[in-house]
Amino acid sequence: MLIKNELIEIKTSEGISIHNITLRIEKILTATAIQNGQVLVFSRHTTTALAINEDEERLLDDVKAHLEKLAPSSGKYLHNDLHLRVVPPDEPMNAHSHLMAMMLSSSEVIPVVDGKLALGTWQSVLFFDLDGSRTRSVLVQISGE
Amino acid sequence: MLIKNELIEIKTSEGISIHNITLRIEKILTATAIQNGQVLVFSRHTTTALAINEDEERLLDDVKAHLEKLAPSSGKYLHNDLHLRVVPPDEPMNAHSHLMAMMLSSSEVIPVVDGKLALGTWQSVLFFDLDGSRTRSVLVQISGE
Amino acid sequence: MLIKNELIEIKTSEGISIHNITLRIEKILTATAIQNGQVLVFSRHTTTALAINEDEERLLDDVKAHLEKLAPSSGKYLHNDLHLRVVPPDEPMNAHSHLMAMMLSSSEVIPVVDGKLALGTWQSVLFFDLDGSRTRSVLVQISGE
């Protein structure tokens, strides 16, 4: 079995931003000799997440509105009482971002068949920053033979 | 390591339908010699999803009502302004189906122990079509030894 | 490829309880010789779930409130009409717990790099009992080389 680990860095923008990382994952896959196996995409932060869905601009705006509806950034959250916890001076009030992350996924696993991601026609791997802007990292692990 | 890939086809019904595909996955597993490893079940559409839960008819109706409550099909969505995008003539207004899919999972990974799916007593692998009726496909990848 | 399967038992408390099982998973990993691969953590019940996020007490209370808001325990659910199903005498009215489980994840997959879980700084593996108190089990499968 071959295993290849590689970090992807993503520069994000204010608030919620959604980034299609499919091509970057495909590039890492193509550079290996793996024909059959899987790609594990792993978000390494507690206010970022992954999903596999359609990369259509207006749909992604609907997704942002949907997340904001279910976990409003203006809501009252215990985690945001920063004076009650030991926090660094630049700690953001981001409880809603954590809640949004938990409704999405920390990782996605995609089968590799004949050297390619076995995604459906409209599927893209989407990285969500739910508390930007920052530089974020995603670990891509490809395993197989 | 052995790796076996197989597609399952599922004919779905109108609106939201939920299909227990556990037996079909077990059948694919039994046909391999794999005793120890995992099954990756991967939904290949952007308005279908997977979950592992109890296959109890009335609970599944509760799940449908819950999804409809969180992402109402009657809601106003940018993705549904079909005149603002280049779309095929039969494009459905299905933003809510995409949102529901993202609240569930694109894939499920189930451990295989002693040649069997290591599911708990009440767990079934459930396939959701959130925008039926259609013929859908799920990729089952079994890997192990 | 090496594969190690081990069950973790978790004693939970009333209602929703959230348990950080990261250290227990790390202990199982360290006892193997696996340097490179992945850990599959699999919840074996239909009213338990997993998530990877920050183990901060007040945030976890926010998560409980958020789940209760989206799937209220006081809601009206078909699954709770126990007289309409064949059930054991101690069957709980727990439709909301099933719905909460489906919004979270049945499993988490974490890359192993250089013999360690490749978690980000603030990430912990969290086990949710959504219908306690009970003794629950989680299957940890470590595979790699």
Average pLDDT for runs of 10 along chain B of length 145: 97 98 98 98 98 98 98 98 92 97 98 98 98 98 97
Sorted by where each starts, the structural domains of chain C and their CATH numbers stand as 2-73+93-144 (2.60.120.460)
In sequence order, what DSSP letters do the residues of C13-47 get, joined into one string?
A: -SEEEEEE-HHHHHHHHHTS---SEEEEEEE-STT
Instruction: Give the pLDDT confidence score for residue A13 in this predicted structure.
Output: 97
**What's chain C's average pLDDT?**
97
pLDDT in tens, C57-79: 999 999 999 999 999 999 999 99
Which stretches of chain A score pLDDT less than 70? none
Maximum pairwise Cα distance, chain B: 54
Is the CB of residue B139 less than 8 Å away from at least one CB of chain A?
Answer: yes
Q: Distance between CA A122 and CA B48 in Å, rounded?
A: 12
Q: Which residues of B touch A119 (CB under 8 A)?
A: 44
pLDDT in tens, B43-82: 999 999 999 999 999 999 999 999 999 999 999 999 999 9
Of B37, B51, B109, the CB nearest to C109: B109
B65-74: long-range contacts (C-beta < 8 A, 24 or more apart)? B66/C71, B66/C99, B67/B16, B67/B100, B67/B103, B67/B130, B68/B16, B68/B96, B70/A70, B70/B99, B70/B100, B70/B103, B70/C70, B71/A66, B71/B96, B71/B99, B71/B100, B71/B103, B72/B96, B73/B15, B73/B97
Q: Do A105 and C109 touch (CB under 8 A)?
A: no
Is the CB of residue B123 less than 8 Å away from at least one CB of chain A?
Answer: no
Q: Do A122 and B77 touch (CB under 8 A)?
A: no
Q: What is the number of alpha carbons within 13 Å of residue B74 lying toward its C-beta?
A: 1
Instruction: Give the pLDDT confidence score for residue B124 in this predicted structure.
Output: 98
Instruction: Give the pLDDT confidence score for residue A14 in this predicted structure.
Output: 97
C57 Cβ contact list (under 8 Å, min separation 6): none
Q: How confident is the model at residue C47 (pLDDT cuts 50, 70, 90)?
A: very high
**What's chain B's average pLDDT?**
97
Write the DSSP symbol of residue C105: B
Q: Does residue B32 sit in helix, strand or coil? A: coil
Contact in structure between C2 and C145 (CB atoms under 8 Å): yes
ipTM of the complex: 0.97
pLDDT in tens, C89-142: 989 999 999 999 999 999 999 999 999 999 999 999 999 999 999 999 999 999
Instruction: Give the pLDDT confidence score for residue B45 in this predicted structure.
Output: 98
Question: CA–CA distance from A132 to each of A4, A14, C119 (Å)?
Answer: 28, 5, 20
Supply the angle between the helices C95-103 and C57-70 in degrees, to the nearest 10.
120
Instruction: Give the pLDDT confidence score for residue A28 in this predicted structure.
Output: 98
Instruction: Give the pLDDT confidence score for residue A15 in this predicted structure.
Output: 97
